[in-house]
Amino acid sequence: MAFKNKVAIITGAASGMGLLAARNLCAEGAKVILTDVNKAAAEAAAEDIRGNGGDAMGMEVDVRNYAQVENAARAALEKYGRIDLLLNFAGGAEGRMLKCPAPFHEMPIDVIDWGLDVNLKGAVYFCRAVLGTMIRQKSGVIINLGSVTGMEGGGNGAVNYSAAKSGLVGLTKSIALCGAPYGVRACCVSPGPVLTRPDMANMKTRLGRAAEPREVVDLILYLCSDKAAFITGTNYMIDGGRSCGGME
């Protein structure tokens, strides 16, 4: 029960790694607010966790909307009285998520905005909304989900995704600087392909496979734990060696 009575806010928690992190944190004793733009799925996931004995609530939050972001932070404080962890999972490549196959130079501006706003501005908004509470508590951990694509470029359909994900590295270092005097830590975790979707198996890595979601979530939970108390401001590649270079 490494996270007994810790309170976590998770964005993009209705599916994939965000949902797995919510489940695993609850299994380790945490109280979790699952936020997602998909209200029905976030609430259903929280209900499922409660059905298995966990403490969770689901909330509709579009990370691009600061009023909704602030509302989630307020709800966490009203229900649980503190915020120990913020995990920023909401994101995805704009071309795929919005089913827009256009090349970058023909991409509608609203698709470009989506790529930047969900992947970067949403994390900035949530950091803004919780950092004051963590500073007052003199403790807290923020994890931003980067990507190997933020390090190597994304090409058509993922130009803004790549720009945003590399931006999260700067955001992470900046929040680490703001939080360090108060014992608040921030880390970025940048995965290569992860099997939250079967097609990720097509992306090459040096180890010849994609990651299982639990492999990434295990790293994140380690960084959230007291075992990682001396780690802040760093970006962790977890990409099967893809960032060593030379991969297609």
* DSSP letter, residue 221: H
Interface residue with ligand NAD, options 6, 26, 30, 36 (CB under 6 A): 36
Please, what is the minimum distance in Å from the beta carbon of residue 147 to ligand NAD? 4
DSSP secondary structure letters along 117-140? IIIIIHHHHHHHHHHHHHHHHT-E
Amino acid at 95: G
Closest CA to 167 of 184, 185, 183, 144: 144
Interface residue with ligand NAD, options 56, 100, 118, 120 (CB under 6 A): 118
Q: Is 111 in the site for ligand NAD (CB under 6 A)?
A: no
Please, what is the minimum distance in Å from the beta carbon of residue 234 to ligand NAD? 17
123, 71 contact by CB (below 8 A)? no
Q: In the stretch 48-87, what mask flags binding to ligand NAD with x, by CB under 6 A?
A: -------------xxxx-----------------------
Subset of 210-239 contacting ligand NAD (CB under 6 A): none
Let me know how long the chain is.
Answer: 248
Q: Is 95 in the site for ligand NAD (CB under 6 A)?
A: no
Q: In the stretch 182-211, what mask flags binding to ligand NAD with x, by CB under 6 A?
A: ---------x-xx-x---x-----------
Contacts of 124 (CB under 8 A, 6+ apart): 171
Residue nearest to ligand NAD (CB): 16
87, 9 contact by CB (below 8 A)? yes
209, 201 contact by CB (below 8 A)? yes
The residue (of 134 and 143) whose beta carbon lies closer to ligand NAD is 143
Q: Is 66 a catalytic residue?
A: no
Rounded Cα–Cα distance for residues 148 and 245 (Å): 11
Q: Which of 161, 182, 222, 236 is catalytic?
A: 161
39, 60 contact by CB (below 8 A)? yes
Q: Is 120 in the site for ligand NAD (CB under 6 A)?
A: no
165, 144 contact by CB (below 8 A)? no
| Residues classed as catalytic | 161
Binding stretches for ligand NAD (CB under 6 A) = 11-12, 14-18, 36-38, 61-64, 89-92, 118, 145, 147, 191, 193-194, 196, 200
